[in-house]
Structure 1
Amino acid sequence: MSERLPRPAPIRRPKAAWRQAKGGQAFKSGHAAEWAAAALLMVKGYQILGFRLKTRGGEIDILARRGRVLAVVEVKRRSTVQAAIEALKPAQRQRLAAAGEAVRRNRPALQVLDLRIDIVALAPGRFPRHVRGV
């Protein structure tokens, strides 16, 4: 009868330190950008309903309401404001619309509101720009 030898443990490579640091830095930067965007929206009269809402359609950075409008707000931070605005591609717009519809469908109080996709574009040294109905 042959003796069964234990299987060696798989070799796990540690994440490169620079990659881990970059990921943490990006997370913090994104979080700060979302708070800046929320502050801008509140100054403009929006009520913030939620941050980083996860749905089957995707993640909503900020869900806000103003009057009869339910705004699904995507926050983009790039080297220029224009680059941030252009970073929102048509496929992502469709995902945001689907995510907004899912949230609206599950909350009866929001079903009467008009859904709109907005973007808040941020760039270093520039005032944030809110673009409605992208």
Structure 2
Amino acid sequence: MSKPSDHTKSSPSQSAKVRAQKRGRWAEALTALVLRLSGHRILARNFKTQVGEIDVIAKRGSVLCFIEVKARADAAQAAAAIGARQRQRIQRAAELYLCQNPAFQTCDVRFDVALVTGPLHLTLVRDAWRPG
């Protein structure tokens, strides 16, 4: 039986990155589930553009929500992970989404943050910021 070559082994930093990506995917799936259970319709997940990315786009009634999901050890770390530049990128991506989906242009727009601090612990911060 042959040994795997050295180039197939992952470094500690790669495995940490993979774990963080898995944690992020889990947090986004949990957020989408919680939103669906609270009456939201999930319109998109991982909406990527050249100007930015939006983790979850959901609609409930006449409110269109652009949700950034952060998974960290505690809520303070998660909230601190969303800086002004990231908010601007999300806002630009939201503008592009609205241009591509004119049916939603009459909706009220809200920017929310989902703070995931455990396997099943999610805090949804509604109207976390306003464009400006």
> TM-score normalized by structure 1?
0.82
The structure with more strand, counted as a fraction of residues: 2
2:26 is aligned with 1:21: no
Secondary structure of the corresponding residue to residue 33 of structure 1: helix
Per-residue CA distance 1:5-25 (angstroms, 9 max, x = gap): xxxxxxxxx586222222222
Following the alignment from structure 1 to structure 2, what is the Cα–Cα distance between the partners of residues 35 and 67? Answer: 22
Match of 1:38 among 15, 32, 41: 32
* Equivalent position SS for 2:43: strand
Task: Give distance in 1, aligned partners of 2:123 and 2:56.
Answer: 15
- List, as ranges, runs of 4+ consecutive aligned residues in structure 1 with deviation greater than 4 Å: none
- Specify the structure having the higher radius of gyration (Cα): 1
2:63: which partner in 1? 69
Residues 65, 109 of structure 2: 8 Å contact kept: yes
- After superposition, the Cα gap between the structure-2 partners of 1:45 and 1:80, relative to the gap in structure 1 and judged at 3 Å, is same
CA distance in 2, matches of 1:25, 1:51: 20
Answer whether contact 1:38 1:48 (CA < 8 A) is retained.
Answer: yes
Question: Paired residue for 1:7?
Answer: none
Q: How many residues align?
A: 122
Question: RMSD of the TM alignment (CA)?
Answer: 1.9
> Unpaired segments of 5 or more residues in structure 2?
1-6
Could you tell me how far apart the structure 1 residues matched to 2:50 and 2:119 are? Answer: 35
